[in-house]
A and B are shown apart, each in its own frame.
Chain A
Amino acid sequence: MKADTSGVLTGVHFMDGDHAACEGALAAGCRFVAGYPITPSTEVVERFAARIPKVGGVFIQMEDEIASSIAIQGAAWGGKKVMSVTSGPGLSLMMEHIGFAVCTETPSVWVDVQRCGPSTGLPTQPAQQDMQQVKWGSHGDYEIIALSPNSPQECFDLMITAFNLSETYRCPVFFMMDEVVGHMTERVVIPPADQIEITPRKFTTKAPSEFVLYATTQDDLVPEMVKAGDGYRIHTTGLTHDERGYPVMTVAVQQKMMTRLIDKIRNNVHKLVDVRTDNCDGADVVVVSYGITSRIAHAALDEARAKGLKVGHARLVICWPFPEALFREMASGVKAFVFPEINMGQMVRELNRAVAGKAKVVSVPHTGGTVHEPEVILNAIMEAAR
């Protein structure tokens, strides 16, 4: 279906990434945000709070991130598309409820404008240090989806993708920005509503007497949903539950539920690959990057190519699930991968796992607070090309 015109600010804007992310959410149909504003993500909710009364929806500033991360899930079960917005310290507080969203299959978008940690760290300065936390921070096994924009335009465009994916897979989708992308201002083109494709919630058409909350088929592991107030008697819980949503404390039910929750993502990993490649065919070295670092890598790539090196660039737009198969295949054709990240080497672990020794993998870590010097990435490329 097409976007609802009331949330779409069609036009050409000069806008920062935080504001563009908010506009993306509004265009995607997000009508409920609960948050506890935190630098450098504050402008996302600040704008949402200002815009939502005219669009029609609710923003609540909650007492903390724990409350925010569960309030959105209540609203999702009330039928709304929902989002919470935070940065590192807030994300840490949300961990328990991320697991709840996974277990209850609550469509939700979680924006993390990353700043330096650990702890309160450098609040106003960039990092990419939460990349593994969103995948593993909540207890238990689970699969989630995470996207990483590198410009205000992508904060708008990919936010719509994020909401659509959260409806398709009924799982938390993380929007992994960073302080630079959040506060960088560039041209943002917002198309007319009829050019924005929106994935509607998969509401059931079954009668209340026939509807089973978590019933799925072999072909489609994502159950249908209902919304509170429509006359369906439902029960949803973070406890291990059967198809009806009722707690059942058995190994068999745990196995069945867990397998489906994992498989609904893992069986579709091939559909969840978004890697933007540039000159990777025939390259000796491929630079892998995501978010703001992909733009910093550009400067190094230009320099390296000017020196005659055959260097490709593979930019992760979807970081989770990690596109293992793509890199496993690419590994047989290249000498080395160079992976700069504004952390001490997080997603490079996944790359190492995928490449499994078939090519050299060079991590270019950064402790955070700013972006890499392009020369540092260039030196790593030159070293790797030897």
Chain B
Amino acid sequence: MAKTEIRIGGLGGQGVILCASIIGKAASIFEGKHATLIQAFGPEARGSACSAQVSVSDSVIGYPYVTSLDMLAVMSQDAFNLFAPTIKPNGILLYEEELVKLNDRLPDSVRRYSIPATRFAEELGRRLVLNIVMVGFFAGVTKLCSFEAFRSAAMDSVPKGTEDLNLKALQKGYDYGVNYSQQP
């Protein structure tokens, strides 16, 4: 597998970094690949636009930054506006459909997948798990790692006592992603 370059974007507080961390952890700890996570560090990580970059590869990762974006997952309009133009041709966009409206910044060739992740999170009882729904959706659409790897990474990352809720959120997003990508 060549290097897969991923960016997660949203607002500080949405769990953007945790989202990226679960993806990196799934790949590097639970599936034996290499992963490097670089997170926004600074005021943007504390309320305004926030993003994290994850590179995943079968071989050791030298250059740690994203240069040719394969997959973008966004949870805010600002993050979409900023990063959508950087998705490479035939890359993948995943977006929260109630928080992001597509516009002409998105290159035509990009494959797009939307999910009402906030609504799903609310239905599960806590809006907070929006990011875990997004991770599940990412897992279901991209199949970057096995669901098992994502589940282990998520369970290893969420606060004790919240495992059940987060697992439901992950599964919800994953199922939606799998079904979505099976549609013609």
Contact surface of A with B, Cβ cutoff 8 Å: 12-14, 40, 124, 179-180, 183-187, 292, 295-296, 298-299, 302, 371, 374
Task: Please give, as numbers and ranges, the residues of chain A lying within 8 Å of B34 by CB-CB distance.
Answer: 186-187
Chain A residue at minimal CB-CB distance from B45: A124
5 closest Cβ contacts across the A-B interface? A298-B62, A185-B37, A299-B63, A124-B42, A14-B25
Beyond known contacts A184-B38, A296-B63: 12 more, CB 8 A cutoff: A12-B29, A14-B28, A14-B29, A14-B35, A184-B37, A185-B36, A185-B37, A185-B38, A185-B39, A186-B35, A187-B29, A299-B63
Task: Output the least CB separation between A39 and chain B (Å).
Answer: 8
Q: How far is the CB of A277 from chain B (nearest CB, A)?
A: 16
> Which residues in window 44-78 of B have CB below 8 A to A?
61-65
What is the bound-complex CA distance between A185 and B38, given in angstroms? 7
Give complex CA distance A185, B55 in Å. Answer: 11
Q: Is the CB of B28 within 8 A of A187?
A: yes
CB-contact partner of B35 in A187, A292, A302, under 8 A:
A187
Q: Give chain B nearest CB distance to A43 CB in angstroms.
A: 10
Q: Which of chain B's residues have a CB closer than 8 A to the CB of A124?
A: 41-42
A186–B41 touching, CB < 8 Å: no
**In chain B, what residue has the closest Cβ to A123?**
B42
Given A14-B25, A185-B24, A186-B28: A295 touches B62 (CB 8 Å cut-off): yes
- B158 nearest CB across to chain A (Å): 14
Question: Which residues of A have CB within 8 Å of B62?
Answer: 295-296, 298-299, 302
Q: Which residues from A are CB-within-8-Å of B36?
A: 184-186
Q: Is B166 an interface residue (CB 8 A)?
A: no
Give A383 to B21 CA distance when docked, in angstroms.
40
Shortest Cβ distance from residue A300 to the other chain B in the assembled complex, whole angstroms: 9
Q: How far is the CB of B122 from chain A (nearest CB, A)?
A: 29
Contact between chains at A183 and B41 (CB < 8 Å): yes
- CB atoms of A186 and B63 under 8 A apart: no
Q: Contacts A14-B24, A186-B28 given; indicate if A295 touches B64 (C-beta within 8 A).
A: yes
